[in-house]
A and B are shown apart, each in its own frame.
Chain A
Amino acid sequence: MSSFEVPFEEIPHTADWAIRAYGRTLPELFANAAMGMYSLLVDLDALGESERREIEVEAASPEGLLVAWLNELVYHTEREHLAFKRFEIHELRLPDPGDPDSLGRLRATVYGERTREMRKYIKAVTYHNVAIQQEDGRYWVELVFDV
């Protein structure tokens, strides 16, 4: 990634925290969104990768898949006090838009470390205005975290 392209950035929101994440491909977008979320919680540079977890989620829409992915990470974080900094996405299959019953799937391995020093507590990742957009060859999406 060139130095002109940021993976994510914080954006203002009155009650909660919000970021905008970018990616050249959808898996990259999903990984950067997760990285952006964790950047709010911990200092990523200081975090190790001694722990890894396998993540698998399903949802009925691409945005739903993104939110499910992030909420699954939030769950692990709260349960085990883990923060993650590296995300390897093995499979990202979107649901079939012509079939309302089809589900998309994401499988990933995530790497991080236990830490008690988290800056804030994310209750949940909201669906608010989540819409994956494509512009100038990049994907981007805005996410609001309920903290």
Chain B
Amino acid sequence: MAREIRKQDFRRIHAYLWELPTSFDPRMNVPVRIYADEELLEDALGDLSVHQAVNAASLPGLVGAVVVMPDVHMGYGFPIGGVMASRVPGGIISPGAIGYDINCLTGDARILHRFGYTRPIQEMAEEWSRAELVCYDARLACLDRTPVVRFLRRPADPVLYRVVTCSGDEIIATGDHPFLTPAGMRPVSELQAGDRIAFLPFEGVPYEEPPDEVIVDVPDVERVLLEAGKDNRRGGITKAIAGLRRRGLLPLRYTSPALPYLLKLLGYAWGDGTAGFMRRRKEGVLVLYGKEEDLAQILADLNQLGYGGYLRSRRRRALIRTPYQVYETIGVTGELEVNSTGLVALLAALGLPLGSKTDHGGRIPEWLKRAPLWQQRLFLAALFGAELTAPALHSQSSVKLRRPVLSIACAEHRLADGYRFLADIAEMLERFGVRSRGIYIERRALLRANGSRSRVLRLLISGDADNLIRLFTRVGVEYNDERRFLSWISAQYLKRKQAVRRARQELRQAIAEAHRQGQPVQAVLEAVSISVNARFVERSISEKQQGGAGLPRDFPDFMTYMKQATEGLGRSGIVWEEIERIEPVEGYTGDVYDFTVLHEDHNFIANGFVVSNCGVRLLATNLTYEQIAPHLTELASRIYSNCPSGVGSEGHVPLTARQLDEVLAEGARWALRHGYARPEDLEHTEEFGCMPNADPDKATPKAKERGKDQLGTLGAGNHFIEVDVVDEIFDPVGAERMGLFEGQVAVQIHCGSRGFGHQICTDYLQRFERVIHKYGIKLPDKELMCAPIDSPEGQDYLKAMACAANFAFCNRQILAHYIRKSFEEVLKPKGIAHDVWQVYDIAHNMGKIETHEIDGQRMTVCVHRKGATRAWGPGSPGLPKKYVDIGQPVLIPGSMGTASYVLLGTPGSMAQTFGSTCHGAGRVMSRAQAKREIRGEKLKAELESQGIVVRAGSMAGLAEEAPRAYKDVSRVVEVVHHAGIAKKVARLRPIAVIKG
């Protein structure tokens, strides 16, 4: 998504809150809200953070808004420093990347469905959930189909717009209805005359409810088989019928869901296929001929019916029949062979002639003549896909199209039958308003291989523009992409020609009229949008006979038009139409319909979104800076040696497989059981140190392999341990409750679930990737890979993620233990009494099922926090008793060497951000850049000159974490404080930094 996002696109809600409304991008289902001051907003716009938030906002099932914190920076898919909530379970869903988001049309707007019929949108109110519509896949430049997943009705806005194209097509929509333009989707309100919008020339026919009558049933199929010579000695007939029954094809009714597919198959087979019962056992074989890509579509439909087939290429003798010559040729065609006695019998029962159609051409069956129009259309369109001549230019013209011809070969003694067949077709076409000009029998007979003679009969379809337009846009073509493409382009071309002619004709008359009345012609010319030359004006004035204005000399020929109109749209058949005018429509008092297409009615959980319970733990001591200062260096060294850190670090707590499972299930409780914790430590941890829904069986074996030697390690990257001094108290009451006082020594641990959590994420992303096509969710960024919460994959992931969370809780607990041990090792010999207790432990990257009030409604949602912290206000459930009335402590580590903050959750955060706030400083400089610009040794010297002791395993690693590479955390904290989503309690200043 490359569209630039500027500050002006935001709506400023207050000094620290900006909103990017959903109107910014039609893909957004919820707005994006960013907490920031002006400068931090500019920072955020400096990379792709906000774009990523907009991408996320297009995911299905979100509520509220995608919230972005002031410390945001771009991540890999979702911005780091973001929160979003999705509804649990099921619920209203919104579109993915493909499909028309048909917003807000008037009730009578007709929507095109997959099987070629249209329905007025207001009629879809009852059954929209079963509808399948035609949509456009911009990435593949082809048409696709999609179900409907949201259907809302609301009273119309006072002003609607009528958009009229240069070819005369019209649509009425609300101002925010988006159209596809060469520059992407744009709402009507942003378009003007001359702009180009995408248009599908196909109109289809209105929907008609099919009667619930049976077309064919078991006796009909039996009769066919017996007549073909099949017997039931070995149960062949019974088996065939059972196969049909099993697939729901018998009895076959007008309302059978399989009928549309059978109609197309029937039409195509009639045109370019051969069916029969072969060999001694009379097994049914159907062979269809055509282009491989078209046959592949037919095969896909066959699969839908429950049948398979063999697709191959063949050299074939073909009879090429043009209205002007018949000749034989050997060509390479595709062949689709289906072996099924049941299917062939069914088609035969429906009327398909068996064997050579030259001998037995068949008649259009009565049941088809009585079928609803849209079903007849499917048959005809498939027949035309196989047999109708493709739209082509007249040999003498570059603008005039030949009339379409349907030709059949017919044995001489069966001419009457052949004639009647074509007459039936002509009659069917009449019902679509498509007229024919007669049936002609070729004079010249063909000699056939068996010695008999055959003649070619042709049905000529009237070639006038209106007729062709109706043929192409109402009947159309199925199972022949190239022909379909050409027919739609032709239709638009014809419409454009007509529109231009009409406009010129009107102008001619207007000029003549003006001249008659002695008024200046110039005024008339200026009032219209088309341009004409002087000769045109002269002829309008002088010529008495208004024979109809011709085309201007610069009117594009067919090939040029085709190229211009389909630029970037492939062979999908969609064309660019120029807007002639947009007029406001007033006085519409009905409802408008909001209507969204996607695939399935599921909600989701975004996997790649959540990493691995990276979090922070704050320990406090009863020591002051003065007391610790003389021993600080020793303490730092002790901590560094007791807490394994760095790349590839292994812990002192190697686990057996069974023990690892226990850790995954119990979290910090395992640490308690094994002597690494005090009970009050768990009391003061998010979730009390254990996510109850963890299921070790859902953790992948690879993750366990990766994690089992890493318990009790710090890791590398931006993970660290810091010894701090409380610098300033902002909220004395909160501070006192948390046991904080000015000048106090405290310790922060910042780390997560290590390789275990990362592997869980990787493995589940891979698993989701294999099934995401089943759930039909289109991702703006693959890293936002997700699955419905209610799916097996989603549920498994929740349980696996809980395991990762537990690993992290346990890990931080063990590190806390080592830190206590370090204090003891340093201070006990010196006789300094001390205590190290836990203030709180929170996670930064987690997805949690929580209940929140959104727009006045209490909802269960899955809150995704990435680089964001839970910040529950006073009175929330799950808080330690000590903090219930002040709220949940929030720990915001600054970057290394800069201040950190302790805050409290507020009622404001519950109301605004699903109980969340920022997590830290957020990077401004890439690691690569930091490494280039900052030298680790120099940085270490700088920090030490500030009185900070540094123990770091890697100088390069140190450089990447330089304070300069991060935003100023104080600014970030100011924003969240003033926005009311967290309350400042205390600021901490580092005195020692330990990292890998």
Contact = CB atoms under 8 A, between A and B. Distances in A.
Interface in B897-937: 923-929
A43 B766 CA distance: 30
A10 B608 contact: no
A121 B926 contact: no
Nearest to B73: A14
A71 B648 contact: no
Interface in B698-716: 702, 705-706, 715-716
Contacts of A68: 766
Contact of A120 (B77, B717, B758, B765): B717
A13 B717 contact: no
Given A14-B926, A78-B706, A98-B296, A147 B759 contact: no
Among A71, A128, A130, max chain B CB count under 10 A is at A128
Contacts of A126: 76-77, 608, 783
Contacts of B47: 14
A12 interface: yes
A18 B954 CA distance: 20
Contacts of A63: 782
Contacts of B80: 15
Interface residues of B, number: 45
A7 interface: no
A60 interface: yes
A120 B766 CA distance: 24
Contact of B785 (A116, A127, A144, A147): A127
Interface string B856-887: 00000000000000000000000000000000
B433 to A, nearest CB: 37
* Interface size band for A: 35 or more
A58 to B, nearest CB: 9
B273 interface: no
Nearest to B702: A75
Nearest to A128: B76
Contacts of A17: 927-928
B566 interface: no
Contacts of A15: 73-76, 80, 923, 926-927
A92 B706 CA distance: 26
B782 A120 contact: no
Interface string A104-125: 0000000000001011110111
B715 A127 contact: no
B706 A119 contact: no
Contact of B770 (A79, A103, A129, A130): A103
Contacts of A67: 765-766
B766 A146 contact: no
B5 to A, nearest CB: 16
A124 B758 contact: yes
Among A68, A78, A118, A129, max chain B CB count under 10 A is at A78
B611 interface: yes
Contacts of A14: 47, 73-74, 923-926
B717 A12 contact: no
A89 B639 CA distance: 45
Contacts of A100: 773-774
Contact of A60 (B75, B770, B783): B770
Contacts of A118: 647-648
Given A119-B647, A121-B647, A121-B716, A71 B924 contact: no
Interface string B714-749: 011100000000000000000000000000000000
B147 interface: no
A59 B783 contact: no
Contacts of B759: 75, 124
Contacts of B680: none
B929 A124 contact: no
A144 B783 CA distance: 11
A39 interface: no
Contact of A59 (B706, B761, B769): B769
Nearest to A68: B766
B76 A12 contact: no
A64 interface: yes
B717 A121 contact: yes
A39 to B, nearest CB: 12
A123 B758 contact: yes
Contact of B77 (A75, A123, A127): A127
Given A75-B702, A144-B76, A147-B717, A128 B923 contact: no
Given A14-B926, A16-B927, A100-B774, 19 more contacts: A12-B929, A13-B926, A13-B928, A15-B76, A15-B923, A15-B927, A17-B928, A60-B773, A64-B769, A75-B702, A119-B647, A119-B956, A119-B957, A120-B956, A121-B647, A121-B716, A127-B769, A128-B77, A146-B611
Interface of A: 10, 12-17, 59-61, 63-64, 67-68, 71, 74-75, 78-79, 81, 98, 100, 103, 116, 118-121, 123-130, 144, 146-147
15 contacts: A14-B925, A15-B73, A15-B75, A59-B770, A71-B762, A75-B705, A78-B648, A121-B647, A121-B648, A123-B717, A127-B769, A127-B782, A128-B783, A146-B758, A147-B927
Interface of B: 47, 73-77, 80, 296, 608, 611-612, 647-648, 702, 705-706, 715-717, 755, 758-759, 761-762, 765-766, 769-770, 773-774, 781-783, 785, 923-929, 954, 956-957, 996
